[in-house]
């Protein structure tokens, strides 16, 4: 009986022992790493916003800021009535850099996409909520709302702000 009690006590102590966990492959970001990353994105966003505003100042067309941190050529655009989830929309858009060079020869086009069920650039998906059928709108988009830190792994490099010419079909 003493042996069973002794083995049980040792078993309990071994179960409560703190075992070291190993980080997943690729490591884990420390709090300091996250803070550095957050500050980098904050600085990059401030720089891009400044450069976009400077670009706007040289244009004959007026652009207006939206609540989501991109600009559009339609005043009060994001104050319109929003399209609801599960509604359908068909649209296309062309991508340009701020030298106004078209990035892809063919527009990106989607037919009968249903809100809440498709994955699109943040600024495009937000703008589609407010666009009217048949309307065209130009978006000036910081990289964080476009292809961000990774780019599209084709023609768009990392941290590139874009001009997006969006049309609801």
Domains delineated in the chain: 86-168 (3.10.50.40)
pTM, to two decimals: 0.78
Three-class secondary structure of residue 36 per DSSP: helix
Query: For residue 117, what pLDDT is reported?
Result: 82
Query: For residue 109, what pLDDT is reported?
Result: 96
Q: What is the mean pLDDT of each run of 10 residues along the chain (169 residues)?
A: 51 49 58 82 90 96 95 96 92 96 96 88 94 97 91 91 97
Q: What is the largest CA-CA distance in the chain?
A: 93
Query: For residue 92, what pLDDT is reported?
Result: 97
Instruction: Work out whether strand 108-114 and strand 136-141 pair parallel, antiparallel, or are unpaired.
Output: unpaired
């Amino acid at each position: 009986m003493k042996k069973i009690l002794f083995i049980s006590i040792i078993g309990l102590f071994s179960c409560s022992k703190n075992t070291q966990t190993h980080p997943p492959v690729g490591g884990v970001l420390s709090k300091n790493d996250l803070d550095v990353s957050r500050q980098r994105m904050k600085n990059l966003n401030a720089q891009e916003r400044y450069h976009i505003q400077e670009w706007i100042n040289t244009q004959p067309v007026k652009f207006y800021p939206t609540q989501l941190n991109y600009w559009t050529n339609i005043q009060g655009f994001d104050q319109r009535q929003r399209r609801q989830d599960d509604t359908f929309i068909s649209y296309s858009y062309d991508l340009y850099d701020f030298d106004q060079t078209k990035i892809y020869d063919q527009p990106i086009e989607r037919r009968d996409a249903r809100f809440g069920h498709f994955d699109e650039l943040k600024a495009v998906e937000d703008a589609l909520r407010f666009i009217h059928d048949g309307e065209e709108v130009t978006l000036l988009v910081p990289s964080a709302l476009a292809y961000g830190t990774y780019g599209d792994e084709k023609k768009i490099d990392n941290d590139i702000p874009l001009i997006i010419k969006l049309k609801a079909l």
